[in-house]
Structure 1
Amino acid sequence: MSTKLEINFTRLLNRCETIASQRDTWDWRLEKYVEALQDQLGEMKRLSRQPSQPSQDIMLEYTRRVDFLKGLLAAEQKENISEKAYATERLAPVSNVHKGSGIAPKEVHLSAMTRLQKDMRTELLGEDKPGDGLRQRKHTDESDIDAVLKHHRKVHEKLTEELLHHTLNLKEFAYSASSIVKKDIKTLEDTNKVADRNQGDLQRESQRLESKTRGCSWWIWIMLALVTLTFLWMIILMRMFPARS
């Protein structure tokens, strides 16, 4: 069951979406209503743990709908019609609405875009007045062409700036990656040099140890032969000169 706070919130939200979809000029009431919506939404978030409060999905939907209205107000405060239309076009309205009988955010977005496009045509092409004559029509056409070219130039400049920004980011990322790869390659080369040097030292030490071991083995055999001959000679002497009884 919906609480009194949620009922008041949904009524005010539907009212704001209806005003945003039907208005042709700036309405100061909408800004005040959206501020009240933010306060009520914050209160519901503080009470979200209570069983009677809306679920997390519905609270997320409410938050997105309020953010969308805030985006419309922010776009309306831009300096010219082109910037207003560009900011409004970038807004992402809520696609699915679970509760409420107000205007769907997509319809509000479409209505705002239609109104801004109409304002852009009015600003670019102007209003035809009877009796102006061919000279005024020609001057108006030239002004329209200049305005259209100026608008397209601004859009092209914005796209160029964004593309340049992304290009610089990619270049910086590629430079960082290249520096890291170069450092890793240098570290690997130094490690290989150390390994080769250690392997050379190990081979030299092995050869020296082998040469010393070979020399020592000959001396061991000689000593064993001498000891054996000495032992045999002592036995012979003992046989030749037995002890006197």
Structure 2
Amino acid sequence: MAETAAAAAFSEGVPCWADAQLPDVEAGKRFYGELFGWTFPKTAEAAGETAGAGPVALAALDGAPVAGLTPKRDGRMPTVWTVYFATPDARALARRITAAGGGIITAPTELPGPSGDLGTAALVTDPEGAVFGLWQPAAHPGFGRRHERRTFCWAELYARDTATVDRFYGTLFHDALFGPDATPDFGRVPVSGVFAAEMPPHFLVHFGVGDCEETLGTVSRLGGRVQVPPFETSYGRVAVVTDNQGASFAVLER
């Protein structure tokens, strides 16, 4: 499948999309619409399906796609934000992931859209079980805006065995992390540095904000909660919150 010029902006291993799997997408629209000013154009409704979920409502900021909200098909599935990494060949990357000690949750699947395939998606895990997505773009290249307020800015991996995950991601996404043009959009820290030691390894999606405390007040007013109060990191001031349905994400002030 030919790669579009827009999709070419995301080299393999670069976070290119994020979505939330929610019990109530309409409630999610109200929450994130007020929190971040996202809109949900009618033309984007049911534009496709994410891996293992259902029709996705595309969130837009000033007309550009910034995230997706997807209804959970199964109540046993977690309510969670997932980050997707770009790849020109999802099936080949999935094979490399299993060879390196990771696992497959949902095999690479082409996702139909109203005017052709949106792309190929998969859900996978690293050797510690942290879940992330793969996205091989077609009609939908990924983020239309990022690295600014109210959009995706960073993904942090909270890991237990940092040496193991360093080898895993360093091998899979070497150029994105260490190549001459590398501008990494994700990092990793020990899970116990922020969360309780029993917290499972996981990725945490970060959205940019102008004022961390003001944003936390809005989250609480909308029915969410503060999971971890603001703390300083090498990439900015971060707080971890959950939305009004329990999906965790971080807000990043920098």
TM-score (norm: length of structure 2): 0.22
**Higher strand proportion:** 2
**Higher helix proportion:** 1
Larger Rg: 1
The structure with higher relative contact order (CA 8 Å, sep 6+) is: 2
TM-score (norm: length of structure 1): 0.22
